[in-house]
């Protein structure tokens, strides 16, 4: 392993490390998540996303991990260990659900295209998942294209009232199945 590699790595790609979320990550994720363009495509992140919200998010994610409800991983660039965003698995749904976001300054660089397949492999190999779901807002065309590129296909859509995101939103479920 690279001597400069972070601890708790669950996957690596040509340019990224994916490691378990850790206490103290609130300080590095907060500036990236306090961006409406990032938050508006998520269902759970509050906005504004200040220091309190970041600590609360990390505390809740670590609590959920201890209880087997979800796993959240930091997405770090290998060459400088820059924190680029989060990717995770919601384990208490059937099938398991994958979700992710990257800080806006890391968009368009192919990091999500590396992180999503890495977590899919982790879910299949380590958790024995045979199916994964992903839910995106209908207008999140970039994520929909990425999911399709990674082997997901469109399964269904529905409308849901999400006041934090402006009211009625159309959600789309994509699904991947192991061959």
**Separation of alpha carbons 168 and 137, rounded Å:** 11
Of 57, 64, 153, nearest in space to 101 by CA: 57
How do residues 153-177 score in pLDDT, each as one tens digit? 999 999 999 999 999 999 999 999 9
- Determine the topology of domain 9-129 in CATH: Aminopeptidase (3.40.630)
**3-state secondary structure at position 152:** coil
| Plot region of 95 (φ>0 → left; ψ -120 to 50 → alpha; else → beta) | beta
Question: What pLDDT, in 10s, does the model give residues 35-72?
Answer: 999 999 998 899 999 999 999 999 999 999 999 999 99
pLDDT at 43: 86
User: Per-domain residue ranges for the chain?
Assistant: 9-129
């Amino acid at each position: 392993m690279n001597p400069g590699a972070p601890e708790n790595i669950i996957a690596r790609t040509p340019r990224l490390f994916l490691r378990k979320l850790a206490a103290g990550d609130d300080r590095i994720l907060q500036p990236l998540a306090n961006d409406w363009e990032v938050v508006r495509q998520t269902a759970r992140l509050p906005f504004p996303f200040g220091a309190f919200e970041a600590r609360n998010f990390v505390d809740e994610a670590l609590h959920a991990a201890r209880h087997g409800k979800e796993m959240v991983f930091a997405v770090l660039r290998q060459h400088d260990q820059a924190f680029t965003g989060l990717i995770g698995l919601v384990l208490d749904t059937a099938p398991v659900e994958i979700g992710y976001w990257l800080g806006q300054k890391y968009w368009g660089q192919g990091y999500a295209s590396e992180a999503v397949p890495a977590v899919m492999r982790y879910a299949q190999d380590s958790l024995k998942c045979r199916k994964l779901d992903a839910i995106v807002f209908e207008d999140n065309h970039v994520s929909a294209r990425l999911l399709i590129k990674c082997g997901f296909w469109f399964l269904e859509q529905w409308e849901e009232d999400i006041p934090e995101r402006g009211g009625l939103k159309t959600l789309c479920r994509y699904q991947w199945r192991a061959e």
